[in-house]
Amino acid sequence: MYKVLPRIFIKTPIGELSLNPSILEEIIKIKPKIIVINGYTEPTIWLTFAMAKALKIPIIYWTEGIQEPQSILGVITRPLRILFVKKSNAIIVPGKPSKNYVVSLGADTEKVFIAPNAIDNDLFVKISQQYLPLKEKIRVQIGLKDKIVILCIAQLIKRKGIEYLLRAYAKLEHEHDNLMLIVIGSGPLEHHLKNLSKSLGLRNVRFMSSGMKLSELIKFYCLADIFVLPTLEDVWGFVINEAMICGLPVISTYASQAALEMIVNGRNGYIVKEANVEELFLSLKKLVCNPELRREMGRKSFEIVIKKFNINEMSHGFIKAIKYVLNMDG
């Protein structure tokens, strides 16, 4: 069971914050054995943390942070992050970069538990199995016959680094005429990126809106040969999970925690330096020029995500943290 509490919005000079004052009443009424909190920017989290401490209710802090935020709000709330990691009874993170970060803030290593981020693998497999046998037929229908399809799904914003992908792809397109780059996403940089594509003389690029059903999105994963997330900053990057469960080799950057945790460099994809056009180009070229490598890396991607990044593994991380907290006093 779950309950969504009503919120009130508070406008501040650093942005709009939300508050759920009824959380205090709920805590008193339910008297939970453990409270799990996530985030650090909302007053509701601050209230919950203070109430839990006052009532001596153990706290598990669930966070994905991998580095210090650069925003004004991030700077202001640094003392809160330090307080949360030091005074929570356990901490749950999705991967080693997050673990290293909370330890750098003062967390005890023994109370940090990894619960790898997962998507609904079963749903993606079920839907992808409908499309994969029809891959070539659908490609013909939508004008992708005999094309090597490179796919990027991301918001069209600066930190996703799509400009660097376009520049790397431009170098690749000069050498190969059987390529297609599909960028699925929406955002304020859409006009700029389309203009950049034209100025680079790109012949085979399609920009598509992200406002599509999940089944349609999975169809494009299944039609693709290579997936790229050229991000400059991502605490995780769930599109990497999605691409891998659909059997794609993946190229991403050291700025994505999902890339660091899920890509075995040279085995199911490549990790490159962010904003590095040359490294991105060379990694793409390896995959474009070697269809067997693409297939083998795609198989490895699927194996990795099925084995290590599933709901059971994620739940196991939470269970270990909960058992640790419950056993602290006995």
Q: How far is CA 300 from CA 107, 186, 289, 304, in A?
A: 34, 30, 19, 6
Burial string for 111-125 (b: 16+ CB within 10 Å, else e) reads: bbbbbbbbbebeebb
The yes-or-no answer to whether 8-117+311-326 and 121-308 have a common fold is: yes
What class is the 121-308 domain? alpha beta
Residues 60, 57: Cα–Cα separation, whole Å:
10
Q: Are 113 and 321 in contact (CB under 8 A)?
A: yes
- What integer pLDDT is reported at residue 268 of this predicted model? 98
Q: How far is CA 11 from CA 14, 17, 23, 96, 282, in A?
A: 8, 6, 20, 35, 47
CB within 8 A of 281, min separation 6: which ones? Answer: 168, 171, 172
- What integer pLDDT is reported at residue 250 of this predicted model? 98
How confident is the chain (330 residues) per 10-residue block, as mean pLDDT?
86 79 93 94 92 96 89 83 96 97 96 98 97 94 96 97 98 96 97 98 95 95 98 96 98 97 97 98 98 98 98 97 86
- What integer pLDDT is reported at residue 269 of this predicted model? 98
Domain coordinates in residue numbering, the chain = 8-117+311-326, 121-308
Q: Are 320 and 59 in contact (CB under 8 A)?
A: no
8-117+311-326 classified as CATH 3.40.50.2000? yes
What pTM value is reported for the model? Answer: 0.93
Residues 178, 216: Cα–Cα separation, whole Å:
24
- What integer pLDDT is reported at residue 329 of this predicted model? 59
